[in-house]
Amino acid sequence: MKLTDYVAPEHVKIDLEGGNKEEIIEELVSLLVETSDVSDADVIYEAVMKREREGSTGLEKGVAIPHAKSDAVKGLSVVIGVSREGVDFEAQDGKPSHLFFLMVAPTSESGPHVQAIAKIVKMIKLDKFRKKLIEAKKPADVVDAIARVENGEGEEI
């Protein structure tokens, strides 16, 4: 499973405008609706917010992976957002989040969803990778950085 099988430049938004968790999730859900086969944006937003109420998906090192399961998608759907300023996402380390990987999978599917989260968690451990994404000038730069890490070029980013 490769994350790049699910993410193209149109799935990436640089310079997110949201100033809090709800606005960031709303912005990412809008991007998901624009770029993926989604039947109901409100259902997805509510599913992601329900998951957030169970426990924040803000990790450490400026990364958050908001996610949910919903039958409003036909298959694993992923979008990525970048906020250079950072947003309080109730992260584990108490610091602002800059990189957001929103993913939604159908309720009947768990494999790709779990694999994608595991892959992201592994990638974000690379300081150069996180820096490259935060400093990306265009969406293609984000996808390229992900592809390079997936192809084993992580340290040369």
Cβ–Cβ < 8 Å for 51, 68: yes
Count of domains observed in the chain: 1
Residue span of the structural domain in which 117 resides: 3-151
> Which whole number is the average pLDDT over 72-100?
95
Residue 110, pLDDT above cutoff 80: no
Give catalytic residues, as residue numbers.
67
CATH no. for residue 34?
A: 3.40.930.10
Residue 55, in any domain of the structure:
yes
Residue 157, pLDDT above cutoff 70: no
Q: Which residue has the tokens 């935060």?
A: 134
- How far CA 17 is from CA of 1, 58, 63, 85, 119, in Å, comes to 31, 18, 16, 10, 26
Write down the pTM of the prediction. Answer: 0.94
Residue 156, in any domain of the structure:
no
Residue 76, in any domain of the structure:
yes
pLDDT digits (tens, 9 = 90+) for 128-150: 999 999 999 999 999 999 999 99
Q: What is the DSSP pairing of strand 12-13 with strand 77-87?
A: parallel
Closest-CA residue to 133 (of 5, 1, 3, 13): 13
Residue 157, in any domain of the structure:
no
